[in-house]
Amino acid sequence: MVTVMVISCPHALGLAIPLVSAISTAVSAQNGLLIRNRTAFENARKITTLVFDKTGTLTTGEFGVSRFKSVREGMEDKEMLRLAAALEANSEHPIAEGIMDKVKELGLETPSADNFNAITGKGVEATVEGQQVKVVSPRYLNDEGINIPEAAENDGGETIVFVLLDDKLAGFIAMADQIRPESAEAIQTLHKNGIKTMMLTGDNKAVAASVSRELGLDDFFAEVLPDQKLDKVKTLQEKGEYVAMTGDGINDAPALAQADVGIAVGSGTDVAAETADIILVNSNPRDISKLILFGKVLTAKWCRT
């Protein structure tokens, strides 16, 4: 049967298939999609659930300090911020960059930090001017039984990190991250095509709920540690979902590799890009919906060919 097919219609194998592949890849590039794994691209039509990393994907990832305050008697607000900056000076994390921008804006001198260490999924620590300084998440405070001050409470629109000196709370820094204007439209398009949307984030539940509510996501997972992102994707797959994961950071790489279709944001890290099947060149969430719609159109044309 195969012999008869090849003899009677050889152009389908020799011309049509390579032509479809070449043209679709070129059109994808024009629409902001860099295809690294052809099979994953063609399987995009099967996606039932799309999981987004929050920071840098659904949001701009450009954190700005909205407020900061010392809660330690005798310590000025700027002094607390200056010590925190010592730990963030060499970090590429969006929160670190936001803190450093504020320090530069205020003209503060950043001291050096020694014995730097990352607290997995919870923050960083180092020795600064003879003091043990930590910049940590609310989760760290909860785990250590440290009460969060009333002044640090917010309506969910801010991400807050806390500064500890010698394991005692010294103050907090509130950061605001803006949702990308294209994100809402991308979510709506995905929903119209019957695809569930979820979000993974290391941020607290209040921040995650605020973003999820504003964008109309189906669900979210908050306070997720880096190694737990992969587990969340696995759990969805075990439930029968065909999962696509979108992220931009180093800690997203394992989840991108585990997903049926891994999609990296072009403005993210090289590790994420190398792990992903498809790269969003313009870092635009709307290009994800283009990917899925294009995959469906490609399949229809392939079948006709």
Q: Which segment, 58-72, 89-103, 127-141, 289-303, is predicted with the most confidence on average?
A: 127-141
Q: What's the average model confidence in pLDDT over 59-87? A: 91
Give bridge partners of residue 163 from the DSSP assignment.
135, 171
Confidence (pLDDT) at 178 = 80
Confidence band for 270, pLDDT divided at 50, 70 and 90: low
Alpha carbon separation from 259 to 255, 262, 263 (Å, rounded) = 6, 6, 9
- For the cut 60, the answer to whether the pLDDT of residue 305 exceeds it is no
**Mean pLDDT for the stretch of residues 89-98:** 82
DSSP state of 31: T
pLDDT at 81: 95
Under 8 Å between Cβ of 211 and 177: no
Q: Which CATH code is given to the segment(s) 33-60+179-304? A: 3.40.50.1000
Q: For the segment 191-221, what is each residue's pLDDT rounded down to a tens digit?
A: 998 999 999 988 878 888 888 998 999 999 9
Strands (E), 240-280: 243-247, 261-265, 278-280
Per-residue pLDDT, 215: 92
Q: What percent of the chain has a predicted confidence (pLDDT) above 90?
A: 39
- 271 has pLDDT over 70: no
Which pLDDT belongs to residue 19?
Answer: 67
Topology of the domain comprising 64-176 = Calcium-transporting ATPase, cytoplasmic domain N (3.40.1110)
Instruction: Sketch the domain layout of the chain as residue ranges.
Output: 33-60+179-304, 64-176
Residues annotated as catalytic (active site), given as ranges: 53
- At 284, the pLDDT band (50, 70, 90 cuts) reads confident
**129-154: pLDDT as tens digits:** 999 999 999 889 999 999 988 888 77
Are the folds of 33-60+179-304 and 64-176 the same? no
Do 197 and 190 meet the contact criterion of CB atoms below 8 Å apart?
yes
Give percent helix, percent strand, percent coil of the chain, each to the nearest 5. Answer: 45, 25, 30
Instruction: Decide which of 70 and 151 is more confident.
Output: 70
Mean pLDDT highest for which of 26-40, 114-128, 152-166?
Answer: 114-128
Average pLDDT of the chain, as a whole number: 84
pLDDT value for 161: 92
pLDDT tens figures, 220-231: 999 888 788 999
**Which of 40-49, 151-160, 167-176, 274-283 is least confident?**
151-160
Q: How far apart are CA 133 and CA 126, in angstroms?
A: 6
pLDDT given for residue 92 in this prediction: 74
